[in-house]
Amino acid sequence: MSGRRKAIVTDMGYSTPDRIVVRGHDLPGELLGRIHLGDMAFLELMGRMPSHRESVLFNALAVTLVEHGLTPSALAARLTYSGAPESIQAAVAAGLNGLGSVFVGTTEGSARLLQEAIPDARHPPPDLPAVAAGIVADWRARGAAIPGIGHPLHKPIDPRTPRLFALAAENGFDGPYIALMKQVAEEAARVYGKLLPINATGAIGACCSELGISWRACRGIGVFARAIGLVGHIMEEMHNPIARELWTRAEDEAREHALARRDGA
């Protein structure tokens, strides 16, 4: 055996016979009944309790990400539940597995863009419009869509964005990341000659940046928020199932096409 090179250490929590400690706090004595779930999530991610103003904005971001109706993720969770109703945890997990580069995971894209442009919020670059112009030119040259702007459905604006930015402003988080995100959207609209409003993804990435949350953690917020939404969908699926109907329709249509092709149609 090659020996222990590294200790197994965690700051998340531990238990003894009479105590349960989470992030340095006594769970029953200091947390239960004193903080709600959203602030517990902040504590888990950041290792400290949020201020009231941080709590308002952080909870708003998380609430935004909980529920989006019949997304591919919700459909996957419901289809999985229909095959293994004894394992609702696995149905939620199936739904989470799809939160990658296309959906939800995208919040990290806009946060990363902003945090790479402004590594230190206390010393933002003086000329944000120039920074924005550089970003837009760079993404355009690579032929890639700029994260955080544009939406296939929500036009001319994404209704979540002004509300989140208003909450940020009311709570003192109207800083350089939100300013830069707005500059990027304006510049992109000018360069591409079309409306490219900041979508919820962009608003959340900017607000997370203002809260000092690393872009690497942004996807995580979407993951746990959506876990709540997926539990909701599975509860509904118990009482008002749609998975079998989705399955039957897909299977029937595919069979019809297969038989038609077989018969030379």
Beta-bridged to residue 14, according to DSSP, are 21
159 binds its own copies (CB under 8 A): yes
Q: Which is nearer to its own copies, 31 or 136 (CB)?
A: 31
195 binds its own copies (CB under 8 A): no
* C-alpha span between 130 and 231 (Å, rounded): 45
Stretch binding its own copies (CB under 8 A), from 91-99, 124-132, 135-143, 177-185: 91-99
The answer to the question of residue 208 lying near its own copies (CB under 8 A) is no
For 19, the enclosing helix (H) or strand (E) is strand 19-22
**Is residue 121 a contact residue for its own copies (CB under 8 A)?**
no
What is the DSSP secondary-structure string of 74-102? HHHHHHHHHH-TT-HHHHHHHHHHT-STT
Of 48, 101, 125, 190, the residue at the interface with its own copies (CB under 8 A) is 101
CB of 135 to its own copies, least distance (A): 22
Binding mask 166-185 for its own copies (x = CB under 8 A): xx--x---------------
Q: How would you label 74-83 residue by residue, b for 16+ Cβ within 10 Å and e otherwise?
A: bbbbbbbbbe
144 is an interface residue for its own copies by CB under 8 A: no
CB atoms within 10 A of CB 154: 14
* Closer of 94 and 131 to its own copies (Cβ): 94
248 binds its own copies (CB under 8 A): yes
Which parts of 31-90 interact with its own copies (CB under 8 A)?
A: 31-33, 35-41, 44-45, 55-56, 59-60, 62-64, 66-76, 79-90
Contacts of residue 42, defined as CB under 8 A and 6 or more positions apart, other chains included, come to: 49, 50, 54, 55, 58
Could you tell me which stretch among 121-129, 176-184, 185-193, 243-251 binds its own copies (CB under 8 A)?
A: 243-251
> How many residues interact with its own copies (rule CB under 8 A)?
131
Task: Quickly tell me which residue has 């409306």 as its tokens.
Answer: 195
From candidates 54, 132, 155, 206, binder to its own copies by CB under 8 A: 155
User: If binding is defined by CB under 8 A, does position 102 make contact with its own copies?
Assistant: yes
- 98-106, 118-126, 132-140, 180-188 -> range binding its own copies (CB under 8 A): 98-106
Please say whether the beta carbons of 187 and 132 come within 8 A.
Answer: yes
Radius of gyration of the chain (CA): 22
User: Whats the size of the chain, residue-wise?
Assistant: 265
Q: Shortest CA distance to 182 belongs to which of 168, 140, 171?
A: 168
Taking CB under 8 A as the criterion, which residues in 12-31 touch its own copies? 12-23, 27-29, 31
Choice from 92, 135, 179, 188 touching its own copies (CB under 8 A): 92
Q: Report strand pairing: 19-22 vs 25-26.
A: antiparallel
Name residue 113's amino acid.
L
Interacting residues with its own copies between 215 and 234 (CB under 8 A):
216-217, 219-221, 223-225, 227-234
